[in-house]
Structure 1
């Protein structure tokens, strides 16, 4: 392929202008294997998976790992998991350790396992009953606005998920896209959380009234692709989604909008608390979550500090409607070199039921010291647990500088020091100090 064309394609690809790539490459009079592969990549990024499949099969490149990956990608999103897995495994044979291929191969295996279990049980794709579907649509119309259209979704092995479109109104000048059918199938909520966490959910995203739905450019198409990704994620990965969860993009080429790095799930707070839950005729609840795209620094901040802490930095407009031009809420948050990278923070505090916000000093989070002194006071805000953590050797000057401490999630502090976990249920007014033997001692009032 001509070097000038190749450079232009990569330039457009870096800007997510996939529609222009298609127009450019489809005009080539004598396309070669490379141009076909790049055109297939653009088709995949536009959600035109069958076209990508046909093109790749018409110009096979068995020694090219990208050819196998792109074919696997097209098959994965057509739910042809067995064929997709074969291509991702071939990619890994040619390019060992490729991160994207490893992720997709894992998704394929989990999807195949779930499908085999479903087939063994003689199950069919789950769907709402007529009465349940009517109740969900009534809830959407009552709280989010009149449904202008319901776009039928392709029936998958797991569930039939359609898309309700709510046009802009005088009260809410935005489009809402809301799934209808995801909640028909229960998510795999852990046994210790089934009493408190919903196992049925529908997802929604709010887009500006000027959104170009008719365009096939990825800059405008990504909300549809991400709704599809998010609705399948609980089943593909045998997991669950809940308030405050984040889902990162697997690569810079599969993001929820230009410059974004992942999705945060929150309740649709602009529509009132009663919009958060829909009660089905049998009394069961379906939770409604709104998808909010995050920048990389926001995603990193959330993973370390928790959703509540991130939301304190984000303005209401950024949470209510997608704004492709908004600035990061964390642009003025100081960047710290944490002792434990965010990617290594694990779920340590699984059964915590209350607010999870807390304050800790940099002696712990940055310098890696153990907690030497901790106390619980009355919370400052709704998501605040009241817990405060110090290494114990901070000076008064150190503590008076707000740059030396920050708001974090309790789970993050537990990753730094598991010794604190048994004491977190103590009430406000409690204080503990680590003695010379390394044990925490409850201090008298």
Structure 2
């Protein structure tokens, strides 16, 4: 991991090369799986199914699926296993070393076994698993407002989307009680939502900071509920008028 570079907004930029941590087979901690499942059911809804990893590297990652309901007419996907190991949090932030991730998908998203062979359906799950393993692969830390591009140069996650990066944010479509799960006095797990982003949004965040996107997010209704057809919130000028790029 290369450090020292900073964006125009003053935020640090980290560039990751080949991982130095060797492949290590991991098995899931039953306590983590059971507690995450109970936490999700208490604050989100009944867990309809769980995608289990067959062979796991460093941490065993499962994805808990809450099916659409009348109150929450969309799927909710939550990881368990990222918090089996602490992330390498900065000095002074050691109490924020444990996290899990979540994202929501439209009610008509195809999640059947055969459907997930299509990357256009599977990529949000792949993104959850990649980011959940990322801090353990590269001995780093992920937290709210951190952004991660899909490669360097960044590429679209799948043929059916132009999203090529992601930002972590507090969940918008869940109560604040969902944000944290206390496993012990020394281990509190924090839940972060994934917000897929376009290139121009990633660039603006680096230049002007995450806060520069918030008004646009509010206007367009950006949340952890994925909308692959939403417009970019970066306003481009054309003559005297502005427009939102699709």
State the Cα distance separating 1:233 from its structure 2 match: 0.8
Q: Displacement, 1:140?
A: 0.8
Structure of greater relative contact order (alpha carbons < 8 Å, 6+ residues apart): 2
Shift of 1:253: 4.4
Give the match for residue 272 of structure 1: 175
Is 1:322 the counterpart of 2:240? The answer is no
Cα distance between partner residues in 2 of 1:126 and 1:213: 25
Deviation of residue 228 (structure 1)? 2.0
In 2, the alpha carbon distance for the partners of 1:180 and 1:318 equals: 24
Match of 1:200 among 98, 103, 106: 98
1:107 aligns with 2:18: yes
Q: Distance in 1 between matches of 2:32 and 2:185?
A: 9
Q: Whole-Å Cα distance in 2 between the matches of residues 177 and 300 of structure 1? A: 27
Per the alignment, residue 128 of structure 2 pairs with 227
Larger radius of gyration: 1
Which one is further off, 306-315 or 227-236? Answer: 306-315
Q: CA deviation at 1:262?
A: 0.2
2:5 maps to none
Shift of 1:139: 0.8
Structure 1 runs not aligned, ≥5 long: 1-102, 119-123, 336-445
Aligned residue pairs, count = 218
Is the 2:32–2:81 contact (alpha carbons within 8 Å) kept by the matching residues of 1? no
Distance 1:309 1:272, change over 3 A: farther
What is the match of residue 243 of structure 2? none
Q: What is the root-mean-square deviation of aligned Cα atoms in Å?
A: 2.4
Q: CA deviation at 1:204?
A: 0.9
SS at match of 1:314: helix
1:308: how far off?
Answer: 2.4
CA distance in 1, matches of 2:111, 2:155: 20
* Cα deviation, residue 179, structure 1: 0.6
How far off its partner does 1:272 sit? Answer: 1.7
Q: For each residue in 1:207-263, what CA deviation from the matched residue of structure 2 results, as whole angstroms up to 9, or x when unmatched?
A: 100112232322222112212211121012111100011110114545266111201
Map residues 2-41 of structure 1 onto 2, 5 A cutoff: none
Q: 1:212 to 1:309 in 2, by over 3 A?
A: same
Contact 2:194 2:224 (C-alpha < 8 Å) held by counterparts: no
Call closer, same or farther: CA 1:199–1:252 in 2, change over 3 Å: closer
- Pick aligned residue for 2:111 from 213, 219, 231: 213
SS at match of 1:232: helix
How do residues 359-374 of structure 1 correspond to structure 2 at under 5 angstroms?
Answer: none
The answer to whether the 8 A contact 2:83-2:100 is kept is yes
- TM-score where L is the length of structure 2: 0.80
Secondary structure at the counterpart of residue 203 of structure 1: strand
Q: Kindly tell me: are residues 223 and 245 of structure 1, through their superposed partners in 2, closer, same or farther at Cα, counting changes over 3 Å?
A: same
1:172 counterpart (72, 82, 89): 72
Say which SS state the counterpart of residue 301 (structure 1) adopts: helix
Higher helix share: 1
The answer to whether the Cα contact below 8 Å between 1:148 and 1:167 also exists between their aligned partners in 2 is: yes
Match of 2:7 in 1: none
Aligned pairs (5 A) from 1:304-323:
304-315=207-218, 317-323=221-227
Per the TM alignment, residue 127 of structure 1 is displaced from its structure 2 partner at its CA by 4.1
- Deviation string 1:69-117 (CA, Å, 9 cap, x unpaired) is xxxxxxxxxxxxxxxxxxxxxxxxxxxxxxxxxx89x334x233xx5xx
Contact 1:154/1:161 (CA < 8 Å) preserved in 2? no
